[in-house]
A and B are shown apart, each in its own frame.
Chain A
Amino acid sequence: MARRGTSSSFPGVCGCCGALRPRYKRLVDNIFPEDSEDGLVKSNMEKLTFYALSAPEKLDRIGAYLSERLSRDVARHRYGYVCIAMEALDQLLMACHCQSINLFVESFLKMVAKLVESEKPDLQILGTNSFVKFANIEEDTPSYHRSYDFFVSRFSEMCHNNDDDLDIRNKIRMAGIKGLQGVVRKTVNDELQANIWDPQHMDKIVPSLLYNLQYAEEAESRSPSPLQATEKEKESPAELAERCLRELLGRAAYGNIKNAIKPVLMHLDNHKLWEPQIFAIRCFKIIMYSIQPQHSHLVIQQLLGHLDANSKSAATVRAGIVEVLSEAAVIAASGSVGPTVLEVFNTLLRQLRLSIDYELTGSYDSAMNIGTKIIKEHEERMFQEAVIKTIGSFASTLPTYQRSEVMLFIMSKVPLPSLQHAIEMGKTGVNRTRLIQIMLLKSLLQVSIGFQCNNLLSALPSSFLDPLLCVSLMEDGEIRLFVLEILISLMDRHGNRHKFSTISTISDISVLKLKVDKCSRQDTLFMKKHSQQLYRHIYLSCNERTNIHPHYEAIYGMLAMISIELANEEVVVDLIRLVLAVQELALTNEDNLPVYNRCALYAISAAYLNVISQLTTVPAFCQHVHEVIEARQKQAPYLLPEDVFLEKPRLPKSVDHLEREVLFLQSKISEVLGGSGYNSDRLSTPYIPQLTDEDRLSKRKSIGDTISLQVEVESRNSPEKEEKAPAEEITFETLKKAIVDNVAVEEQERERRRQVVEKFQKAPFEEIAAHCGARATLLQSKLNQIFDITIRPPPSPSGTITAAYGQPQHHSIPVYEMKFPDLCVY
Chain B
Amino acid sequence: MEDYDFLFKIVLIGNAGVGKTCLVRRFTQGLFPPGQGATIGVDFMIKTVEIKGEKIKLQIWDTAGQERFRSITQSYYRSANALILTYDISCEESFRCLPEWLKEIEQYASHQVVTVLVGNKIDLAQNREVSQQRAQEFAEAHNMFYLETSAKESDNVEKLFLDLACRLISEARQNALVNNEASPLPGEGTTISYLNCCNLN
Write the residues of chain A forming the contact surface with B, with a CB cutoff of 8 angstroms. 1-4, 6-9, 14-16, 64, 67-68, 71, 75, 110, 117-119, 147, 149-150, 153-154, 156-157, 159-162, 199-200, 203-204, 207-208, 211, 263, 266-267, 269-272
Tell whether, in the assembled complex, residue A263 and residue B71 are in contact, meaning their CB atoms are under 8 Å apart.
yes
Of B29, B67, B72, B197, chain A has the most CB atoms within 10 Å of the CB of: B72
A207 to B40, CA, bound (A): 12
Among the stretches B12-20, B49-57, B112-120, B170-178, the one at the interface with A is: B49-57
Once the chains bind, are A160 and B41 in contact (CB under 8 Å)? yes
Is A203 a contact of B190 with CB atoms below 8 Å? no
**Closest A residue, CB atoms, query B4:** A9
Q: Which of B34-83 contact A (CB under 8 A)?
A: 37, 39-46, 48-51, 55, 59, 61, 67-72, 74-76, 78-79
Given A64-B201, A157-B41, A157-B42, CB of A2 within 8 Å of CB of B49: yes
Contact between B67 and A270, CB atoms less than 8 A apart = yes
For A154, give the chain B residue with the smallest CB separation.
B44
Question: Would you call A6 and B201 a contact (CB within 8 A)?
Answer: no
Task: Determine how close the nearest CB of chain A comes to the CB of B163; give it in whole angstroms.
Answer: 12
Q: Which residue of B lies closest to A164 (CB)?
A: B37
Chain A residues near B71 (CB-CB < 8 A): 203, 207, 263, 266-267, 269-270
Set of chain A residues within 8 Å of B39, measured between Cβ atoms:
162
Contact between A14 and B201 (Cβ–Cβ < 8 Å)? Answer: yes
What residues of chain A lie closer than 8 Å to B189, measured between beta carbons?
Answer: 147, 149
Interchain CA distance A162-B66 in the complex, whole Å: 15
10 further A-B contacts with Cβ under 8 Å, apart from A14-B1, A160-B40, A272-B68, are A6-B48, A7-B48, A7-B49, A117-B44, A119-B46, A160-B72, A204-B75, A207-B41, A208-B41, A263-B71
Could you say which residues of chain B place their CB within 8 Å of the CB of A159? 41
A204 to B76, CA, bound (A): 8
Please indicate the chain A residues that have their CB under 8 angstroms from the CB of B1 in the complex. 14, 64, 67-68, 71
Contact residues in A for B162 (Cβ distance below 8 Å) = 1
Contacts A14-B201, A159-B41, A160-B42 given; indicate if A9 touches B55 (C-beta within 8 A).
yes
Give the CA-CA distance A162 to B44 in the complex, in Å. Answer: 12
A16 to B198 Cα, complex, angstroms: 8
Looking at the complex, which one of A64, A147, A266 makes contact with B190 (CB distance below 8 Å)? A147
Q: Which residue of B lies closest to A4 (CB)?
A: B30
Q: Which residue of B lies closest to A64 (CB)?
A: B1
B44 pairs with A4, CB closer than 8 A: no
Contact at A156–B197, with CB atoms within 8 Å? no
Can you give 17 contacting A-B residue pairs, CB < 8 Å? A1-B162, A3-B30, A4-B30, A6-B3, A9-B3, A149-B190, A150-B59, A157-B42, A160-B42, A160-B43, A160-B72, A162-B39, A200-B78, A204-B75, A207-B71, A270-B71, A271-B68
Q: Is the beta-carbon distance between A157 and B61 smaller than 8 angstroms? A: yes
Complex CA gap A149/B61 in Å reads 13
Which residue of A is nearest B75, CB measured? Answer: A203
A2→B165 CA distance, assembly (Å):
13
Judging by beta carbons under 8 Å apart, are A4 and B41 in contact? no
- B72–A208 contact, CB under 8 A? yes
Considering the complex of A and B, which 7 residue pairs feature the smallest CB-CB distances, nearest first?
Answer: A160-B41, A203-B75, A9-B3, A266-B71, A162-B40, A207-B72, A271-B68
Q: How far is the CA of A802 from the CA of B1 in the complex (A)?
A: 90
* Interface residue? B100 (CB, 8 A): no
Partner of A71 from the list B3, B41, B61, B74 (CB cut-off 8 Å) is: B3
User: Complex Cα distance A208/B51, Å?
Assistant: 35
Answer whether residue B181 sits at the interface, using C-beta atoms and an 8 A cutoff. no
For residue B74, give the distance in angstroms from its CB to the closest CB of chain A. 7
A96 to B39, CA, bound (A): 42
B41→A211 contact, CB < 8 A: yes
- CB nearest neighbor in B for A273: B68
Complex: A805 Cα to B68 Cα, angstroms: 66
Q: Which of B49, B75, B198 contacts A1 (CB 8 A)?
A: B49
Kindly list chain B residues whose C-beta atoms are within 8 Å of the C-beta of A270: 67-71
Residues of A contacting B4 with CB < 8 Å? 9
Q: How far is the CA of A2 from the CA of B56 in the complex (A)?
A: 10
CB closest residue in chain B, given A69? B1
Residues of A within 8 A of B29 (CB): 4
Chain B residues with Cβ below 8 Å from A6 are 3, 48
Chain A residues with CB under 8 Å of B37's CB are 162
Inter-subunit contact A1/B51 (CB<8 Å): yes
CB-defined contacts of A117 to chain B, threshold 8 Å? 44, 46, 59
Separation of A200 and B188 alpha carbons in the complex (Å): 11
Cβ of B195 to closest chain A Cβ, rounded Å = 14
The answer on a CB contact under 8 Å between A200 and B190 is no
Bound CA–CA A211/B39 (angstroms): 14
Asked whether B50 lies within 8 Å of A2 as measured between CB atoms, the reply is yes
Do residues B50 and A7 form an inter-chain contact, with CB atoms below 8 A? yes
> How far, in angstroms, from A742 to B2 measured CA to CA in the complex?
84
A194 (CB) vs chain B CBs: closest residue:
B189
Residues of A within 8 A of B68 (CB): 270-272
Could you give, for residues 189-201 of chain B, a 1 whenever the CB lies within 8 Å of some chain A CB and a 0 otherwise?
A: 1100000011001
Q: Bound complex: CA of A473 vs CA of B82, how far in Å?
A: 66
Q: Which residues of A contact B76 (CB under 8 A)?
A: 153, 204
Q: Is the CB of A156 within 8 A of B198?
A: no
Nearest chain A CB to B114 CB, angstrom units: 19
Contact B72 A211 (CB under 8 A): yes
How many angstroms between the C-alpha atoms of A3 and B26 in the bound complex?
11
Query: In the bound complex, what is the Cα–Cα distance between A9 and B3 (angstroms)?
Result: 6
Closest-by-CB residue of B relative to A201 is B75
Please give the distance in Å from B49's CB to the nearest CB on chain A: 5
Tell me the bound Cα distance from A802 to B50 in angstroms: 93
Q: Which residues of B contact A208 (CB under 8 A)?
A: 41, 72
With A2-B49, A6-B48 already in contact, the answer to whether A110 and B2 are too (CB < 8 A) is yes
| Nearest-CB residue, chain A, relative to B74 | A203
**A1 to B161, alpha carbons, bound, how many Å?**
12
In the bound complex, do residue A157 and residue B43 qualify as a contact, i.e. CB atoms below 8 Å apart? yes
Docked CA distance A3–B30 (Å): 8
Give the residues in chain B near A147, CB-CB below 8 Å: 189-190
Nearest-Cβ distance from residue B198 to partner chain A, whole angstroms: 6
B198 to chain A: which residues have CB within 8 Å?
A: 14-16
Q: Which residues on B sit within 8 Å (CB–CB) of A75?
A: 3
Please name all residues of chain A whose beta carbon is closer than 8 Å to the beta carbon of B41 when the two chains form the complex. Answer: 156-157, 159-160, 207-208, 211
Chain B, residue nearest A262 (CB): B71
| Bound form: Cα–Cα A110–B61 in Å | 19
Quote the shortest CB–CB distance from B34 to chain A (angstroms). 13
Contact bitstring B105-134, A, C-beta under 8 A = 1, else 0? 000000000000000000000000000000
The answer on a CB contact under 8 Å between A204 and B201 is no
| Complexed CA–CA distance, A204 and B1 (Å) | 31
Q: Which residue of A14, A110, A200, A266 is within 8 Å of B79 (Cβ)? A: A200
Within the assembled complex, what's the spacing in Å between the Cα atoms of A149 and B80? 12
Give Cα A14–Cα B79 distance, bound, in whole angstroms: 31
Q: How far is the CA of A208 from the CA of B43 in the complex (A)?
A: 13
Task: Kindly state the separation between the CA atoms of A150 and B68 in the bound complex, as whole angstroms.
Answer: 23
Chain A residue, CB-CB nearest to B40: A162
A515 to chain B, nearest CB (A): 54
A215: nearest residue on chain B (CB-CB)? B40
B residues in contact with A2, CB < 8 Å: 48-50
Contacts of B49 in A (CB 8 A): 1-2, 7
Contact A157 B44 (CB under 8 A): yes
Find chain B residues with CB under 8 A from A263 CB: 71
Q: Which residues of A contact B55 (CB under 8 A)?
A: 7-9
Q: CA–CA, A525 to B166, complex, Å?
A: 88
The distance in angstroms between the C-alpha atoms of A150 and B61, with both chains bound, is 11
- Flag if A153 contacts B79 (CB, 8 Å): yes
Closest CB of chain A to B116's CB: distance in Å? 19
